[in-house]
Amino acid sequence: MRVIAGSAKGHALFAPPGLATRPTSMRAREALFSMLGGRVAGARFLDLFCGSGANGIEALSRGALSCVFVDSSRQCEAALRRNLGHTKLAGGASIMRMDFLDALKKLAAGPGPGFDVVFIDPPYSMGLAARAVDAIAAALPALLNHGALVAVEEASGTELPENPAFELIKQKRYGAARLGMYTVV
C-alpha cells in the first residue's frame, strides 16, 4: 500500500496488525481520487472509518488543506500516526479516536468550517455506511460546505445508502469494492 500521487507519492503506508481492517485497494483509491478530480486541492477532508488513514493521507498529499481522521480502534490510530509521521503530513491532520456517530456530533457542534469532501469506508455489509450518511444528513448544513461531496465505499454486492438529503451522482465497481459519490440536494 503506497501513496499514489502528490507530495508523498510513493511512500509506503503501514496497515494496522490483524485482519480487522480492510484497506481500500490501490485501484479503488485511484478511482476515488479520479472521481474527485481537482476538488481535493485546498479542501477540508473527513476520512470516516479511516483505518490506516490511506485515503486521508492521499488527500493531504494531493493538496487538501486539512483532514480529520476518525476511527475507534487504538491499533488504527497507532498505524495512522506512524503513516502521518512517515509521510510528513501530520501538520494538516486531526485524529479523533472515537465512535463515528460521536465524532460527527462533535464536528457538527464545533465552531470550525464544514467539510468539502467526506469519505466513508466502514467494515463492509454491516449497515454502517447508511448510518453514517443518515448522521451526516441530520447534521446539515453545519457539517458540510456548499458543494461538498460525500463518497462511500461498500462491498460490490451491497446497495449504496439512500437518503433524501443526498443525490447519488456516480457509482462504480472495482473488484470487491463499490464506490458511490453523492452531492447535497
Domain range for 166 is 26-184
11 lies in some domain? no
2 lies in some domain? no
18 lies in some domain? no
Domain count, the chain: 1
17 lies in some domain? no
pLDDT of residue 148: 96
**CATH code of the domain containing 142:** 3.40.50.150
5 lies in some domain? no
pLDDT of residue 175: 85
The CA angle 25-74-3, to the nearest 5 degrees, is 30
Quote the percentage of the chain above a pLDDT of 90.
83
19 lies in some domain? no
* Contact indicator for 23, 52 with CB cutoff of 8 Å: yes
Which region among 56-65, 81-90, 94-103, 123-132 has the lowest average model confidence (pLDDT)? 123-132
138 lies in some domain? yes
Report if pTM > 0.85.
yes
The grid coordinates listed for 68 are 480529520
Using alpha carbons, select from 36, 33, 29 the residue that is nearest to residue 2: 29
pLDDT in tens, 56-86: 999 999 999 999 999 999 999 999 999 999 9
Using CB atoms within 10 Å of the CB of residue 1, give its burial: 0 to 12 exposed, 13 to 18 middle, 19+ buried: middle
68 lies in some domain? yes
